[in-house]
Amino acid sequence: MPRYSANLTFLFNELPFLERFGAAKAAGFEAVEYVCLFDHAAVALAAPLKEHGLAQVLLNVPHGKWAAGERGIAILPERAEEFRASLAQTIAYAHALECGQVNCLAGIRPEGVPEEALRETFVANLRFAAATLKAAGIRLLIEPINTRDIPGFYLTHTRQAVELMEAVGSDNLFIQHDLYHMQIMEGDLARTLERTLPAIGHIQIADNPGRHEPGTGEINYAFVLAEIDRLGYAGHVGCEYKPKTTTAQSFGWMK
């Protein structure tokens, strides 16, 4: 059976954010993750982790002005310096929270910038980040995301992520494989997992449509989760879904 982590951005939303750690522990989780917006000090996040004996399994590299609609800046040529400077904050948070891997959101394609410039910027930034984070003992992940939820997002398919990894040429770059996003963009989940598993650093789940808990949509999660076990995936599976009713009621699928 996979080891699950609770995504506190999506789960336990009936509680203030810092109270969600305790709720996750009470629900049986041993690990957490969330979309880190860096609006809490690292020490404030570390305290509930320690209090409840939870592991932090994932963070995000700062991804621009989230409230203004930005979803990453790593592809933007004019913000390469900002992206690279943000790694110091990333490392500080990761060390404070004893988190060994971080996810880099690529960003939304801007108008008027050639494809070649976006790709060259992304590859150069990833190469720099992978080396910088490796020196700090932290793995770097990149995540393909569907263009229905985030129109114009740059990184959208597993094969594209693999090609970027090959271009970067680092042994410290992996894929964050979100089955919800990839069901929308490409399907064929089991074969893709089997083919790509060595490159996958973290898995996240939600059903489609609706991004609700497993069992509410079209993905056969009983089969897919068994396949993840069969393939020998040793990491956590992040529950990054929106409960259809309440968080507590959404856990029935785990049985």
Asked if residue 100 lies in contact with residue 139, where contact means CB atoms within 8 angstroms, the answer is: yes
Encoded tokens for 228: 């993840």
Nearest to 253 by CA among 10, 1, 36: 1
Nearest to 239 by CA among 187, 195, 180: 180
The Cα 199–Cα 197 span in angstroms is: 5
The CATH architecture one would assign to domain 3-254 is Alpha-Beta Barrel (3.20)
Q: What is the pLDDT of residues 75-96, one digit of tens each?
A: 999 999 999 999 999 999 999 9
pLDDT of residue 64: 86
Mean predicted lDDT score pLDDT of the chain: 97
Report the first-to-last Cα separation within the chain, whole angstroms. 11
Encoded tokens for 90: 């990333």
pLDDT tier at 37, thresholds 50, 70, 90:
confident
Instruction: Break the chain into its structural domains and give their ranges.
Output: 3-254
Q: What is the pLDDT of residues 139-177, one digit of tens each?
A: 999 999 999 999 999 999 999 999 999 999 999 999 999
Q: What is the pLDDT of residues 224-248, one digit of tens each?
A: 999 999 999 999 999 999 999 999 9
Across 117-145, average pLDDT: 98
Cis-peptide, bond into residue 209, ω within 30° of zero: yes
The Cα 183–Cα 166 span in angstroms is: 23
Question: Which residues are annotated as catalytic?
Answer: 143, 240
Asked if residue 200 lies in contact with residue 216, where contact means CB atoms within 8 angstroms, the answer is: no
How many helices, marked H, and strands, marked E, lie in the chain? 8, 8
pLDDT at residue 1 tops 80: no
For residue 7, what is the enclosing H or E element?
Answer: strand 3-7
pTM summary value: 0.96
pLDDT tier at 205, thresholds 50, 70, 90:
very high
